[in-house]
Amino acid sequence: MKSYKATAVTMSLFGVFCIGSFAQAAGGGGGSAASAQSSAPSTPPTIASVLDRSLSGIERNILRAADAVPEDKYDFSPATANIPGDFKTPDPVRTLGQQFKHIGDALESYASAILGEKRESSADENGPKSVKTKHDVIAYLKSAFAQAHSAINTINQQNVVEPVAPGKPTRLALAVGMVGHSNNHYGQIIEYLRMNGMVPPESQPSK
């Protein structure tokens, strides 16, 4: 969990900005009450729904990429392919499969922290050793995202900026860090796909 805390802290200001922007937009810019009512959504968004929507966006991208990668490429990395560059210091960079599992491992850690539960990340932060095949990895990712959504949905106006425990991050920082961390590793996954001549699903032309 230690390596995830930096992301949570650095992304918290971004989260505060997003929530502030959302509140400003919801409050309107001084227009008439009739105009505000006509443009208001039928179900007003909440802090949890805004955060959850951000998580859903990166979840879609990651799961589509995981599904698109052939199983024989799950062991690919710049290190295993001996691509020129320093990809083995101090340890070899993660394979594609490990990238997906690392995202799942982090999601579980963030979700547990938001809920105030203790959950140690795996020894190498790459998820369970028993998760090996493409099918296993995708199932693990779906389960981890489900846990993350459940955790985010416990965030409300009263607890959003309340530390989960004395000296610990706020729920907002953890939720934003969760999304930011997932985006970080999705960016690396895109590079891996490009190295294999694959166009990421989200970059393909709409049919």
Q: Are 181 and 1 in contact (CB under 8 A)?
A: no
Can you say how many angstroms the Cα of residue 17 is from the centroid of all Cα atoms in its chain? 18
pTM: 0.80
Question: In angstroms, rounded to a whole number, what is the distance separating the alpha carbons of residues 58 and 133?
Answer: 22
What is the torsional sign of CA 124, 115, 150, 184? negative
Q: b/e per residue, 118-143, with b = 16+ CB within 10 A?
A: eeebbeebbbeeebeebeebbebbee
Backbone angles phi, psi at 145, to 5 degrees: -65, -35
Tokens describing residue 42 = 């039928």
pLDDT attached to residue 31? 46
- Give the pLDDT of residue 42: 79
CA distances from 163 to 9, 46, 90, 173, 175 (A): 12, 19, 34, 9, 12
Distance CA 74, CA 69 (A): 7
Task: Show the low-confidence residues of the chain (pLDDT under 50).
Answer: 8-34, 36
Task: Say which residue the tokens 């691509």 belong to.
Answer: 83
Return the half-sphere exposure (C-beta side, CA atoms, 13 A cut-off) of residue 129: 2
CA distance 201 to 96: 15
- What pLDDT score does 101 carry? 97
Is residue 28 packed enough to be buried (19+ CB in 10 Å), middle (13-18) or exposed (0-12)?
Answer: middle
Q: What is the predicted pLDDT for the residue at 122?
A: 81
Q: Given this model, what pLDDT does residue 177 score?
A: 97
